[in-house]
Structure 1
Amino acid sequence: MSWDEFLWHVDHRLGMYVGRPRYERAFSAVTGFDLARGRDELAAFQAWMSARHRGSSLAFWSLVLTETFGEGATEDRLASDDDHKRAISHLCRVLREFLGQQASTASQR
């Protein structure tokens, strides 16, 4: 399964795989998928997200929350199903952006 297909399932059908769709379950699924692929793509994503946030040392999942809800956002901010859905969708969107840039860079080599 490709990242693109996997992210579609996370964004649209997460509940089918993990029960109630929750942000922490989404980033756990993303982490598990990365580990199963054995390519450590999330390490590069972490560096990319850190650079995007002026060298922040926060984990990528926390930076995604900051982008979604503003500075200081934490998982406690996710009060409703809609908040979780917004955070999950943003996680998938930024991962797609990152993977697209990686593919573009690789094809230019």
Structure 2
Amino acid sequence: MSWEEFLWHVDHRLGMYVGKLRYDRAWSMLTGFALARGQGELTAFQEWISARHPGSSSLIFSSLVLAETFGNGATEECLASDADHSLAVSKLCQLFREFLKQHA
């Protein structure tokens, strides 16, 4: 499965694979897929997203995606509704696609 196909499934059919649509489940699925591929994309993505947030002390890379979605200081506790989770999942997929295009 290609990254583009995988990201489409995460963005459009996450619930089919992990039950309830939740951002942490999407992040876990992305992490598992990247690690299974063994190509180092996850490490490179983490470096890329960290570079977009200079001076950030966050070591939780999934929070950097939330910061880009909802503003600085956003955490998973800020995800109050299904719509918030859906927006965060879509942003995660969008950012990973952007990363892949830049590193193709």
Normalised by the length of structure 2, the TM-score is 0.95
Deviations 1:2-24 (A, max 9, x none): 11100000000000000001000
Identity %, equivalent residues: 70
Q: Does 1:40 align with 2:55?
A: no
Which ranges in structure 2 are unaligned for 5 or more consecutive residues?
none
Q: Rg: which structure is higher? A: 1
Q: Which residue does the alignment assign to 1:64?
A: 65
Q: Structure 1 segments of 4 or more deviating over 6 A?
A: none
Amino acid at match of 2:15: G
Whole-angstrom CA distance in 2 between matches of 1:12 and 1:91:
12
Whole-angstrom CA distance in 1 between matches of 2:86 and 2:50:
23
Q: Which residue does the alignment assign to 1:51?
A: 51
C-alpha deviation, 1:60, in angstroms: 2.2
Which ranges in structure 1 are unaligned for 5 or more consecutive residues?
104-109
Query: What are the within-5 Å matches in structure 2 for residues 1-109 of structure 1?
Result: 1-58=1-58, 59-103=60-104
Whole-angstrom CA distance in 2 between matches of 1:55 and 1:72:
13
- After superposing the two structures, state which structure 1 stretch, 59-68 or 17-26, moved more: 59-68
